Amino acid sequence: MSQHAMLPVVSAGSGAGAAAAPKSASAAPACGTGLDCGLDAVEAERVARVFKALGDPTRVRLLSMIAASPAGELCVCDLTEPVGLSQPTVSHHMKQLAEAGLVTREQRGRWAYFRAVDGAVGDAARALLG
């Protein structure tokens, strides 16, 4: 419910102040209220990408498994069975996590290995909450 309340604020801010916000992100008058304007359009897009990637329970599980791995990384071949999905489907989920900046990918021969990006989730939360 609170997510729906946030969406109009983000889209209104990105539409109305998109051109002015990046040039003067620290200037309060860009909002016209004298209040802190929060995230500019570019930063809001980045943070939204992170939370969108985490909006899928399968991706949350995949990221959690990688982060909990003793080696700090896992092969895509090790991720399919625990989530009960095919390798192409898991690869699609991992691509979403990588594009959101939550994991890094390293190709080793036939298989891709993924490593969680330290602090990525916390950085997104801090950016959102100020």
pLDDT recorded at residue 32 = 65
* pLDDT tens-place string over residues 5-52: 332 233 233 333 333 333 334 444 456 666 677 888 999 999 999 999
Given a cut of 90, whether residue 118 has pLDDT beyond it is yes
Q: What is the CA radius of gyration of the chain?
A: 18
pLDDT recorded at residue 88 = 95
β-pair partners for 114: 74, 105
Residue range 48-73: mean pLDDT, rounded: 96
Given a cut of 50, whether residue 126 has pLDDT beyond it is yes
Q: Which CATH class is domain 51-122?
A: mainly alpha
Mean pLDDT for the chain overall: 80
Angle at CA 6, nearest 5°, toward 104 and 129? 60
Across 11-15, 55-59, 89-93, least confident range: 11-15
Residue range 104-125: mean pLDDT, rounded: 95
Give residue 111's pLDDT band: very low, low, confident or very high (50, 70, 90).
Answer: very high
Given a cut of 90, whether residue 56 has pLDDT beyond it is yes
Give the integer Cα–Cα distance in Å for 91 and 75. 10
**What is the DSSP code string of 3-24?**
HHHHHHHHHHHHHHSTTHHHHT
User: Which residues belong to CATH 1.10.10.10 in the chain?
Assistant: 51-122
pLDDT recorded at residue 77 = 94
Largest Cα–Cα distance in the chain? 56
Give the integer Cα–Cα distance in Å for 58 and 101. 17
